[in-house]
A and B are shown apart, each in its own frame.
Chain A
Amino acid sequence: MEQPYIHILDPYPQQAPEQNRLHPFYDFVREGKLTTTRCKKCGTLPWPPRVVCPQCMSDELEWAEMPREGTIYTFTAQEAGLPPGYALPTIFALIDLPNGVRLLSVIEESELSEIKSGATVEFIVKHVPNDRVMPAFRIKR
């Protein structure tokens, strides 16, 4: 094609205060803290975090730190067919935190042979393009 194929799509979340009311989540990740929002009125702790409580519609929410360790419920190693720009393999896992929250995340910095349903994982910071971050996990050391 003579004209350059326009091929720009940003899959990562917008994280700056001008773009996202939940920007403190990403600031906390940078500080090594995993958080979500807790409703001051009814105590609901939803995942992902919100600007309005999905139970009682209150907008009085506070940031609550979550446990740094959890256990793998199930996982998969994707070896082919990932979108462009993603590593092969990528290990996706559903991770249960002791506070009852379940997250879908990726497992990095770990040996594939150590990754098992029931294994303990710990929170790490994953760096993504344009100085942004996302939570990730590794097998507990």
Chain B
Amino acid sequence: MRRVAVVAAGMTRFGVRQATYRDLIQEAGKAAFDSNKNILPKDIDSFILSSVFPERSVFQSHLACLAAESVGVRPHKFFGRVENMCGSGIVGIRTAYAAIVAGLSDLVMVMGAEKMNIPAPEEAVLNMMTGLDREWEGAYGLTAPPMFALAAQAHALKYGTTEEQLSRVSVKNHGHSKNNPFAQFQKGTSMEQVMCSKMIASPLRLFHCSSMSDGAAAVILASEERAKELTDKPIFIIGTGQAAHGYAVANFYRDMSHWPALKEAANDAYAMAGIGPDDIDFAEVHDCFSIAEIIAYEELGFCEKGEGGRFVEQGLSDYGGKVVVNPRGGLIGCGHPLGATGVAHAGEVFLQMRGEAGPRQVPGAKIALSHTNSGPGEHHILIYQKGF
């Protein structure tokens, strides 16, 4: 099977940006090309755009070639747009990976982009409803925070997970994003600030939630052969997995504190890579809400089932612990421009493996796991390995 390497990566600052959708795409494209001076837009043969609801937020569909043209790329081997709600970024990278493995492409740009903050802020919340089962569940006003709150209550009832433990995740990730100039939030936070923040959907408070953010991120993937011509610092994708259990929230799992689709996706990726959870140096994990990071520790095999709350409380997911989780600051610290998030994970892997992550550098990072979800029922995994 052809091997696939990340050879360039870059991103915009995430946040409430005074920039259009296309501005963001151009910023991320420039950052990616700037990261590897051996690659020019004309060299790219394929292009994948990961983006969730620009039809609503910028009133534009037919997006892959708009984004490609914006960054000077004329795709002529393989292109299209990927939409899979919050996990779209990893799904875009997996799609590009598959195209290279299949021999359809040699050099692909994957762009993740989202403009979430629009002139009518209440409409931005309405847009989030389109990512749920709108006719049978979304129509009640259901969006992501109550969906994850239902899982948080299930985890608290079964395992005694506390509000303090949920809050530890937010304090850790805000602490990390303090060291990330591309993060939406760079001031850090305290347990008191998190636990006194506004209740959104019990038990989840404002600081337990990631924010609606504008941003874009881009990576360039190459076949191993092509990568050799372009860089002496390739980072290989060595494992990947994906699984879904149901679409309606009601049909995910009888026990909402267990996310077997995440376990299944992770185990497939570990098996493909020939490694286990103990081999992971750092993980970019989908902390759309703090409960999601706690359950991810368990399903990814970083700790025993039910121990996720204690895992973060004991500092085991931080620097000096068992595995650094979300050194970038996670979705809670960086913001969550839906389609960009999984691509931004790859950008963090790129910096960390090259030792260019500055004050948030994970010492000696060689193997990293990236996980995104599209709700508790759908999970996407990539495992990256330093190739130099």
Q: Does A57 contact B (CB under 8 A)?
A: no
Cα of A58 to Cα of B249 in the assembled complex, Å: 25
* B202 A128 Cβ-Cβ under 8 A: no
B157 within 8 A of A: yes
Assess whether A76 is in contact with B198, with CB atoms less than 8 Å apart: no
Q: Are B134 and A92 interface neighbours, CB within 8 A?
A: no
What 17 additional pairs, Cβ within 8 angstroms, besides A86-B140, A92-B142? Answer: A1-B119, A9-B123, A11-B141, A13-B139, A74-B150, A74-B157, A76-B150, A78-B200, A79-B199, A80-B206, A82-B141, A83-B128, A90-B141, A92-B149, A104-B136, A104-B250, A117-B157
Chain B residues numbered 117-157 whose CB sits less than 8 Å from any CB in chain A: 119-120, 122-123, 125-126, 128-129, 133-143, 145-146, 149-154, 157
- Would you call B248 an interface residue if the criterion is a C-beta within 8 Å of the partner chain's C-beta atoms? yes
Interface residues of B in 192-227 (CB under 8 A from A): 198-204, 206
User: Is the C-beta of A56 less than 8 angstroms from some C-beta in chain B?
Assistant: no
The contact size tier of chain A is 35 or more
A28 within 8 A of B: no
Give Cα distance in the complex from A76 to B150, angstroms.
Answer: 6
A98-124: which residues lie under 8 A (CB-CB) from chain B?
Answer: 102-106, 117
The complex places the Cα of A9 from the Cα of B198 at a distance, in Å, of: 28
Proximity string of chain A (46-86) to chain B, C-beta cutoff 8 Å, 1 when within and 0 when not: 01100000000000000000000000011111111111111
**Residue A7 at the B interface, CB < 8 A?**
yes
Q: Are A11 and B201 in contact (CB under 8 A)?
A: no
Bound complex: CA A5 to CA B143 (Å): 24
**24 residue pairs bridging A and B, Cβ less than 8 Å apart:** A9-B123, A11-B134, A13-B139, A73-B154, A73-B256, A74-B157, A74-B256, A75-B150, A76-B149, A76-B150, A77-B202, A78-B149, A79-B201, A80-B199, A83-B125, A90-B146, A92-B140, A92-B149, A92-B201, A103-B250, A104-B142, A104-B248, A117-B153, A134-B139
